[in-house]
Chain A
Amino acid sequence: MAVSSSNPGFFAAIETSIADTELRRKLANASGHHLESAASTRAEFPRYDEEREAARSLKTAAIGRLDELLIELRTRLEGNGCHVFFADDAAAARRYIVDLARVRKLKRAVKGKSMTTEEIELNPALEKAGVEVVETDLGEYIVQLRHEPPSHILTPAIHLSKEDVGQLFHDRFGTAYTNEPERLTAVARDNLRAAFLSADLGITGVNFAIAETGTLVLVENEGNGRFSSTLPDTLVAVMGIEKVIARLSDLSHFLEVLARAGTGQKITTYTNFITRPRSHDELDGPREIHVVILDNGRSRILADPVLREALNCLRCGACLNVCPVYRSIGGHAYGYPYQGPIGSIISPALFGKAAGHLPFASTLCGACREICPVKIDIPKLLLHLRWKENQNNLQWPRGAAKARRGAARFGRMANHPRTIRALSRIAVLIMRPFAHEGYVKWMPGPFRNWTLTRDFPVPKAPLKHRSADQPQSN
């Protein structure tokens, strides 16, 4: 596997994650049952493939005339009484929001789940300006209490067990230790309800921005996005330029596939339509709405006709759930707020050269392409990025060069059936004494590396003999 040498830290992170068997257990635990239920929700919906096709075409069409739609969106939003700020990059977006907090003397912010605000690293900037920021999505709240970044775009605390959360709450709040999700959720609910009631600033993401009406659509299950956009007097909604869709009537096609792919629900619990600040006769809703529309590298993605497809992403999280690499290393090893297959595609454009190695962290198995609700051809985009990265002076790190030489040697050997048969007989003989229940967990000396990160199945008979029993295909 070719890997750019730019990121030695990535290897270290991967090795740590893989060695963490507890982490792998949690990831498998959290995704196994969930994948089945999601698959059956889709199977029960006969129109699923039609809707995917529609969502894909609508999104591609919207991205294809992004310039017009952004103009229309801005006009509508302003017509509705919202403030609109376009930000070239993360720093500009941060500055705008921090300045706003300063001018309005805002002190307490509640945040709904928003990956875009992770992308622009908003929290530390606000905290430095003296604004207390509380994450209110349960998973985000948990990782914030642990001073950790989220490890999944949809379920930020997926790397933690209920015992981890129980211990955390016990340590932080002095509540009696429990590992029951119901009771832990109740503790968080009480704490966060108080935060909602006293906050003067709400910050949320945006799932879709409808150009036709200037409406922001926010989907969620908990109600934290609803609270953040209902109680505080000021709302800041942060979105990437690619979130704009043309019309209200397009929306259903996206909603029909988004939750089915991501969580296996037919539709999320809440679909919020936010269009205008509260009028003088209304009781709730923000008095002021600021919509921050962020480029931060997205126009670079747009400029590459192959890569452009990545802007169709709905951030449903499904490609992470099915990715064998994500499932073994977890989200933190990626090192960026967008993890998994789609993260490996967009991170290099959003965060620059340092993320250039990410497209190599994939087996190209294609599970992501199969599951993606807007049918993004993720493996193709990864290969495209690898090709681009290879154009820029590539060096083989030591381990990779060794592996390549080994593979070449094996290739030569495989041309001599007698040699390989003899060698595989010897291999089985060597492995047998170390086998336990069909697997070799540890081998001495030079063979150690083979079993370092996985258990090696003991072949029942030497490799070549087995294939000789089977009917010849040619």
Chain B
Amino acid sequence: MGAFVRILASVKTALEMRTLVNSEPQVEASVAAPTLIEPSAAQIQVPIARVTHRAELLSSFARELEAIGGVFAGSVSPGELPTRSVAIADQLGALIIAVGEGVTHDLLPIANLLEQHHRDLILFGAAGDDEARRAALARIARADLGIVEAHCAIAASGTVAVVASPARPNALTLMPPAVLVIVPADRIFPDLASAIEQLGPDLIAGRRTVFITGPSRTADIEKRIVIGVHGPRNLHVLALWPTDV
């Protein structure tokens, strides 16, 4: 507690020192003196480019996703979702598959079809005691593929925003080597600012949230890009095109 008060006091005193007490010669490199008091945050606005066409947003999203090493697996109607998901699981050779709960759509039909195809399924209920929790995590660690629905996506950067829930753990898009993210086409927003605004503080701060842009990567050895360090090396995205449009 003491340190908090002390630090606040020194910050306060520091902030009050708006003018220099000693006389410093004007240095030549200073092009313009910085203004020390800036306009309040509320006055600063950057215009947000709003593109209204859903198809345009979707194609921009797909292009950006592919540019950073993700795979855009096309757009499907809700009815086609299970078959397409199983096809992607086959393509990836995934045998153990973890499915998180949906957001706007029920993902259980995917789970059911996977089961019919004799895949090893991991579903999530309530966490239970600590031992059950650890066991569930250990199972995700062995999964070949995680399937989740994103809350929204960002067209300008190919980003998906995934908000965790008890039946959609954060580890689901982190531990398996491959992830399939389902994005409703009407939840693709033009840019970061509009996506953050749409999600809002309650959602983002309510549960663990992550913005995922492409597969996990590093450039730590001679700046050469290597895909799949700690997180998934395969990131597939399926867009869900609602049947009512």
Contacts and interface: CB of A to CB of B under 8 A. Distances in A.
B167 to A, nearest CB: 9
B30 interface: yes
A221 to B, nearest CB: 5
Secondary structure of the B contact surface, majority rule: loop
Given A64-B15, A189-B230, A222-B231, A252 B196 contact: yes
Interface string A224-256: 101100110000000001000011111111011
Interface string A171-189: 0000000000110110011
A283 B64 CA distance: 32
A303 B38 contact: no
Contacts of A156: 220
B82 interface: no
A192 B175 CA distance: 12
Contacts of B8: 67, 70-71
A54 interface: yes
A74 interface: yes
Nearest to B202: A213
Given A66-B15, A247-B41, A282 B166 contact: yes
Chain B interface residue count: which class?
35 or more
Interface string B9-23: 011111101111000
Nearest to B212: A270
B230 to A, nearest CB: 4
A282 B137 contact: no
Interface in A36-72: 47, 50-51, 54, 57-58, 60-62, 64-67, 70-71
Interface in B199-245: 201, 204-206, 208-224, 226, 228-231
B191 A269 contact: no
Interface string B86-125: 0000000000000000000000000000000000000010
B204 A185 contact: no
Interface stretch (B73-81, B156-164, B180-188): B156-164
Given A70-B8, A222-B230, A215 B204 contact: yes
A305 B18 CA distance: 6
Interface string B136-160: 1100010000000000000011010
A250 B230 contact: no
Interface residues of A, number: 114
Interface string B27-42: 1111100101111110
Interface string A188-202: 110011001100000
A54 B223 contact: no
B220 A139 contact: yes
B55 interface: no
Given A222-B216, A248-B201, A306 B20 contact: yes
A267 interface: yes
B53 interface: no
A60 B38 CA distance: 7
Of listed A189, A271, A282, residue having the most chain B CB within 10 A: A282
Contact of A223 (B209, B216, B221): B216
A193 to B, nearest CB: 7
B99 to A, nearest CB: 14
B230 A227 contact: yes
Contacts of A66: 11, 15
A302 B230 contact: no
Contact of B27 (A87, A275, A366, A384): A384
29 contacts: A64-B36, A64-B38, A66-B15, A70-B7, A137-B220, A138-B218, A139-B218, A158-B223, A181-B221, A215-B205, A226-B230, A231-B171, A251-B196, A255-B192, A269-B213, A269-B231, A270-B216, A275-B206, A281-B166, A283-B166, A284-B137, A299-B7, A299-B10, A300-B14, A306-B20, A308-B36, A364-B29, A380-B31, A387-B24
Interface of B: 3-4, 6-8, 10-15, 17-20, 24-25, 27-31, 34, 36-41, 44-47, 49, 64, 68, 124, 126-127, 133, 136-137, 141, 156-157, 159, 164, 166, 169-171, 174, 191-193, 196-197, 201, 204-206, 208-224, 226, 228-231
